[in-house]
């Protein structure tokens, strides 16, 4: 394994000082480390205790930290979010798990009208340092009410931060930053990524919120992708490389705050942009990314229109064939990228 240093994060990974772990394990490691470090950090959510969470993310934490700090709640999403706010306002750093991001709809008043606005409404004199973690995304056959990608909902709200890690290393470093952040953070974990493995630094590290990362360098096309679309874009990029097309992949990692500069730098370099996300295209965050590029001087470097590849305009269906067709897959990214570079559309 070679040594590489990420300019954005400063994380140096080399043989010997990383450990291989899954995305779920990385999230768990971040929770455990922060709970050991800071007694004000505690967890609450449905079935996160002895059960270990619907996706087993918190497994083992109940045994280490006990029922006071790994707190099973009734099925009461409004109260989970509200309790996190009340605790955060009075000196704690709660990390609440919402079992599926779809159920964030049930928390929206507490999250949007309360958590996000409290600091501003109170004249900047209060802090709401909480994290709301939730698994999002399709691919598990759970159909329309357990498969959405709603990052754009949250990114539309001033006062919230929105994080979507794509790798185990990012999941751990970003979650630690989210917990230490003094603002409410929505931390969206793709449920298909939970089993993905990757190298995670062994030493303590954090990744700042608001820093994009170039996941792959290239010269012909910039793919802006986040969450599950990062590994899919990386796989497509390997195939495109065999066609002589070198793709650069930029993962913003956080949509709020949003690192525009790293994306614009990539656009200037390649002259082609494909924005890929799983969420429905209409009103999706890709539109914001496209607008930012179009409104910048980087627009002058474009050799082709800005393209978006995103979820179909439909709830996520149950049938495996339809479910796959509803969101971008590796083949779709490959085809869209090839067309954009070869045909300019």
Partner 1 sequence: MTLPTPSSPQEQNADAESAASLSRHASLGDLGEDFHPDELRQILGTMLRIRAFEEKVDELFMQGAVHGTTHLSIGEEAVPAGALSALRPDDYITSTHRGHGHCIAKGANLDLMMAELLGRETGYCRGRGGSMHIADVDTGNLGANGVVGGGIPIATGVGLSIILRHTEQVCLCFFGDGASNEGTFHEAINMASIWNLPVIFLCENNQYGMSMSVQRATHVHSLADRAGAYGIPGFSLDGNNVFAVRQAVREAAERARAGHGPTLIEAITYRYKGHSKSDQNRYRTRDEIADWKQHDPIEQLSRYLEKRGLLTSEQIEQERMQAYADIEDAYAYAQASPEPKVEALLEGVYA
Q: Residue 100 Cβ, how far from partner 1 at the closest point, in Å?
A: 18
Q: Are strands 131-136 and 161-163 parallel, antiparallel or unpaired?
A: unpaired
Q: Is 92 in the site for partner 1 (CB under 8 A)?
A: yes
5: contact with partner 1 by CB under 8 A: no
Q: Does 81 bind partner 1 (CB under 8 A)?
A: yes
Among 87, 104, 249, 341, indicate the residue that binds partner 1 (CB under 8 A). 87
Selected from 6, 8, 54, 86, the binder of partner 1 by CB under 8 A is 86
Closest Cα partner for 19 from 192, 164, 204?
204
Residue 29 near residue 205, CB atoms below 8 Å: no
Strand partners, 70: 43
- In the bound state with partner 1, the residue whose beta carbon lies nearer, of 120 and 318, is 120
Please say whether the beta carbons of 221 and 342 come within 8 A.
no
Stretch that binds partner 1, among 55-63, 119-127, 238-246, 288-296 (CB under 8 A): 119-127
Residue 31, C-beta contacts closer than 8 angstroms, at least 6 positions apart? 41, 43, 58, 61, 95, 175, 179
Beta carbons within 8 Å of 289's beta carbon, 6+ residues apart: 224, 252, 263, 275
Binding mask of the shown chain, residues 150 to 179, with x at each position contacting partner 1 by CB under 8 A: --------xx-x------------------
Residue 71: φ, ψ to 5°: -105, 110
CA 93 – CA 75 distance, rounded (Å):
21
Is 202 an interacting residue with respect to partner 1 (CB under 8 A)? no
If binding is defined by CB under 8 A, does position 120 make contact with partner 1? Answer: yes
Secondary structure element (H or E) that encloses residue 155, with its range: helix 151-155
Asked whether position 51 contacts partner 1 by CB under 8 A, the answer is: no
b/e for 105-116, b at 16 or more Cβ within 10 A?
A: ebbbebbbebbb
Q: Which is nearer to partner 1, 182 or 331 (CB)?
A: 182
Residue among 220 and 260 whose Cβ is closer to partner 1: 260
Q: Give yes or no for residue 211 binding partner 1 (CB under 8 A).
A: no
C-alpha span between 69 and 74 (Å, rounded): 15
- Catalytic status, residue 146: yes
List the interface residues with partner 1, window 10-49 (CB under 8 A): 42, 44
Answer for which of 29, 48, 84, 340 binds partner 1 (CB under 8 A) is 84
Q: Which residues of this chain interact with partner 1, rule CB under 8 A?
A: 42, 44, 68-69, 71, 73-74, 76-79, 81-92, 94, 109-110, 113-114, 118-127, 129, 158-159, 161, 181-183
Active-site positions read: 146
């Amino acid at each position: 394994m070679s040594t590489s240093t990420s300019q954005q994060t400063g994380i140096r990974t080399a043989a010997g000082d990383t450990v291989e772990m899954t995305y779920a394990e990385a999230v768990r490691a971040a929770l455990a480390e922060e709970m050991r470090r800071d007694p004000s950090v505690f967890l609450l959510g449905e079935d996160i205790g002895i059960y270990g969470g619907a996706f087993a993310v918190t497994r083992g934490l109940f045994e280490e930290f006990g029922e006071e700090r790994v707190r099973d709640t009734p099925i009461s999403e409004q109260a989970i979010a509200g309790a996190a706010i009340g605790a955060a306002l009075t000196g704690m750093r709660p990390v609440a798990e919402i079992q599926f991001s779809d159920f964030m709809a049930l928390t929206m008043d507490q999250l949007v009208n309360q958590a996000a606005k409290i600091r501003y409404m109170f004249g900047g004199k209060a802090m709401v340092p909480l994290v709301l973690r939730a698994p999002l995304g399709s691919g598990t056959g759970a159909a329309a009410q357990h498969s959405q990608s709603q990052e754009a909902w949250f990114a539309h709200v001033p006062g919230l931060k929105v994080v979507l890690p794509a790798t185990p290393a990012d999941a751990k470093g970003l979650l630690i930053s989210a917990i230490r952040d003094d603002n409410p953070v929505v931390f969206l974990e793709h449920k298909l990524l939970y089993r993905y493995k990757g190298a995670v630094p062994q030493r303590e590290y954090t990744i700042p919120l608001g820093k994009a990362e170039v996941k792959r360098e290239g010269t012909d096309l910039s793919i802006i992708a986040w969450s599950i679309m990062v590994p899919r874009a990386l796989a497509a990029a390997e195939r495109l490389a065999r066609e002589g097309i070198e793709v650069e992949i930029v993962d913003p990692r956080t949509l709020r705050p949003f690192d525009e500069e790293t994306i614009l730098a990539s656009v200037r370099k390649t002259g082609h942009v494909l924005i890929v996300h799983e969420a429905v295209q209409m009103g999706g965050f890709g539109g914001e990314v496209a607008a930012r590029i179009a409104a910048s001087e980087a627009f002058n470097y474009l050799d082709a229109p800005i393209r978006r590849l995103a979820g179909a305009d439909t709830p996520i269906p149950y049938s495996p064939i339809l479910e796959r067709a509803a969101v971008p897959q590796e083949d779709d990214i490959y085809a869209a990228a090839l067309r954009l570079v070869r045909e300019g559309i």
